[in-house]
């Protein structure tokens, strides 16, 4: 249940937008005129605050403050202060999150650190998992001697129960948008003696996550999707305090050292999640992210999640009228912040939509993904986009040579 009534006209969509509790949040974004942006599940748009903060960090803190800004502008504390903002969005303690590195690096660090604490040295990934998660598991198995189990979709928890190993699993599947039950999965992990490393990349900033209450202990996620941190924005690590004390990061970088500016030859880790920091943080990216997260200020996550799912319901309902198959769950409670529709000419259709000022994205082999980021996507945006999609499919407007030409990034 989302608390919304499915609109059956554009006027009904406009009425929902007018009374929506998130309606003012759209003004925080620097959205280009004439564009309906339905790709925030892949790269969120810029906020006015983030753009201003980058200018300040570059022109004043860097250009004028120079190295002094590590202290005077608080650069040294950004991984922790930004981590505290992220902690609120996943409902964990403020000191249990640190911003560092990329998702790929962080998944490697967490899975490697979990090898000594899991019941068995088995790394588990599902064949439907995001590719980098699979590659990380494969690479870690190759250098650690751990056993790699690549299992079929939705068989990861079964393998975890059998082995007591380490499961790397996205809360929201990148292709289908299917949502995992974190509490149920963590209960199974506890029973098996195994460990789950959660990938939050398509979940944070769109779902009402309650990781601490659900028993989640380890997670990483990106910040450039629903969190709008900018292209290549840094990732974050969550580690439950008790478990973190039992773990050692495989990358003993100086920012994870208990006293990095003592410059001692031996390594001593910081307490808690801070031990998973490694090298010097990217201050410009961190500054942009810090300001971007202010877009969530004053918003209830339950409202964010409910609107995203209601927008997704509208995508599915309109798609069915067009005759397109949705591979995302129909039940809103089982779906994240994007909806994937299937068509054998999906790539060309997406390009035709982009040419009309509507930007979704495509994932091979045939999935068209429509992101419904609730802070700035309106019900009328979805309605208008689906009207254009219907016209493109009906008239075969996608069947032009330029729409079939594959770009490097899809």
From 37, 369, 379, 381, active-site residue: 369
Cross-strand bridge partners of residue 358: 36
Name the active-site residue from 37, 108, 130, 379: 130
Active site residue 17: no
CB distance 225 to 44 below 8 Å: yes
369 is catalytic: yes
**Do residues 96 and 240 make contact, with C-beta atoms less than 8 angstroms apart?**
yes
Catalytic entry in 39, 101, 133, 199: 199
Nearest to 363 by CA among 112, 159, 90, 173: 173
Contact in structure between 111 and 155 (CB atoms under 8 Å): no
The contacts of residue 373 (CB under 8 Å, 6+ apart) are 37, 40, 41, 44, 206, 226, 308, 337
- 199 as an active site residue: the answer is yes
Give CA 369 to chain center in angstroms: 15
> 86 near 295, Cβ under 8 Å?
no
Annotated catalytic residue 238? no
Catalytic residue among 225, 270, 275, 378: 225
**Cα 202 to Cα 300: distance, rounded to the nearest angstrom:** 18
Q: Which of these is catalytic: 224, 226, 370, 403? A: 224
Buried b (16+ CB within 10 A) or exposed e, 145-160: ebebbbbeeebbbebb
* Catalytic status, residue 109: no
User: Whole-angstrom Cα distance, residue 237 to residue 213?
Assistant: 17
DSSP SS3 for 81: helix
Active site residues: 130, 199, 224-225, 369
């Amino acid at each position: 249940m989302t608390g919304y009534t499915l609109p059956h006209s554009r006027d009904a969509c406009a009425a929902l937008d007018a009374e929506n509790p998130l309606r003012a949040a759209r003004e925080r974004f620097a959205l280009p005129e004439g564009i309906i942006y339905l790709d925030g599940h892949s790269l969120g748009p810029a906020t006015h605050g983030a753009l201003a903060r980058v200018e300040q960090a570059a022109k004043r803190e860097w250009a004028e403050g120079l190295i002094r800004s590590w202290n005077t502008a608080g650069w040294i504390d950004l991984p922790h202060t930004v981590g505290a903002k992220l902690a609120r969005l996943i409902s964990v303690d403020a000191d249990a999150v640190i911003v560092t590195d990329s998702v790929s690096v962080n998944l490697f660090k967490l899975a490697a650190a979990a090898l000594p604490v899991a019941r068995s040295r088995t790394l588990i990934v599902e064949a439907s998992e995001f590719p980098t998660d699979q590659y990380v598991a494969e690479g870690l198995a190759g250098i650690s001697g751990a056993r790699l189990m690549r299992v079929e979709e939705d068989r990861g928890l079964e393998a975890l129960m059998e082995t007591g190993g380490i499961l790397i699993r996205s809360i929201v599947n990148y292709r289908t948008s299917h949502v995992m039950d974190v509490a149920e999965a963590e209960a199974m992990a506890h029973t098996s003696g195994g460990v789950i490393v959660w990938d939050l990349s398509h979940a944070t900033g769109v779902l009402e996550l309650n990781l601490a209450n659900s028993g989640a202990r380890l997670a990483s996620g990106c910040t450039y999707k629903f969190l709008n941190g900018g292209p290549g924005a840094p990732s974050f690590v969550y580690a439950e305090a008790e478990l973190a004390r039992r773990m050692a990061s495989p990358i003993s970088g100086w920012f994870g050292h208990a006293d990095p500016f003592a410059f001692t030859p031996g390594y001593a880790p910081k307490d808690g999640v801070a031990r998973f920091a490694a090298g010097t943080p990217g201050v410009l990216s961190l500054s942009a992210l810090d300001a971007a997260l202010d877009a969530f200020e004053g918003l209830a996550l339950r409202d964010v999640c409910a609107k995203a799912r209601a927008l997704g319901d509208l995508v599915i309902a309109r798609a069915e009228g067009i005759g397109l198959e949705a591979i995302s769950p129909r039940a809103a409670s089982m779906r994240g912040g994007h909806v994937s529709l299937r068509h054998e000419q999906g790539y060309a259709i997406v390009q035709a939509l982009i040419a009309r000022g509507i930007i979704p994205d495509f994932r091979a082999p045939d999935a068209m993904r429509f992101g419904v980021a609730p802070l700035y996507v309106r019900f009328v945006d979805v309605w208008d986009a689906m009207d254009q999609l219907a016209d493109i499919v009906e008239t075969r407007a996608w069947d032009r040579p330029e729409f079939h030409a594959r770009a490097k990034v899809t």
